[in-house]
Amino acid sequence: MRPLPDSADLEMEFRFTAVLSSDGTGIFNHRLSLRNLARAIDGAGLYEDAANISNTFDTYKPVFHRLEAVPIPAINTFSLPPIVCAADYDDDDVAGLSSFAVANAYRNRKVCDVRYPFEIMTKVPTIQSGYTVGTLANTPVTIVNGYLDFQQPPFQGVLHMYGEGFPLNLSVIRVFLTIRAKCRYQR
């Protein structure tokens, strides 16, 4: 087997699965990172194989994000409110939304009925080369040719999910997340 040459790209898919619930006030408010493989949902959760791949490749460029949502079986008899899924490609992945009106005001949004399976596919825009963005630790991250450092990815890019009027602490949907990314060896 030949070693990979410098700057070789390999397209890979990273996956993450979780159950999303409403909180103690009946609010369904979650955020999914579109770029950071170590912050799958609400700032936590490492995508499968991301740690192993980061030992081989130096950088990655997310090109596609897919959310597949399946209702928790026992809830299809309830009348449940809809949720809004809203993509914000340059927002920091640090806080959820504050109201249904804020979620609905996003240009890139979709209203979803959580009683039925749904899917949202999002092409992830490339961050421009040389653009420096901050992280939660206020450490700048420089983007080179749209590729992000595995060891220090940015916190920008989020898919918000927001809804109101749910039963308290109800498990609503199981989500299956996929990020397709080009990985590059540059050592």
* C-beta separation of 114 from 79 below 8 A: no
Residue 75 has pLDDT above 60, yes or no: no
- How high is the pLDDT of residue 7? 54
pLDDT-derived band at 174, boundaries 50, 70, 90: very high
**pLDDT tens digits for range 40-65:** 999 999 999 898 888 888 889 999 99
Q: How far apart are CA 98 and CA 96, in angstroms?
A: 7
Residue 187 has pLDDT above 60, yes or no: no
* 9-184 CATH choice from 3.40.50.620, 3.30.9.90, 2.60.120.950, 3.60.15.10: 2.60.120.950
Q: Output phi, psi for 126, to 5 deg.
A: -75, 135
Query: Structural domain boundaries of the chain?
Result: 9-184
Residue 13 has pLDDT above 70, yes or no: yes
- How high is the pLDDT of residue 152? 80
- How high is the pLDDT of residue 1? 46
Residue 74 has pLDDT above 70, yes or no: no
**pLDDT tens digits for range 123-156:** 998 876 555 555 555 556 667 777 888 888 888 8
Query: Structure pTM?
Result: 0.86
**pLDDT tens digits for range 85-124:** 999 988 777 788 888 889 888 989 999 999 999 999 999 9
- How high is the pLDDT of residue 22? 95
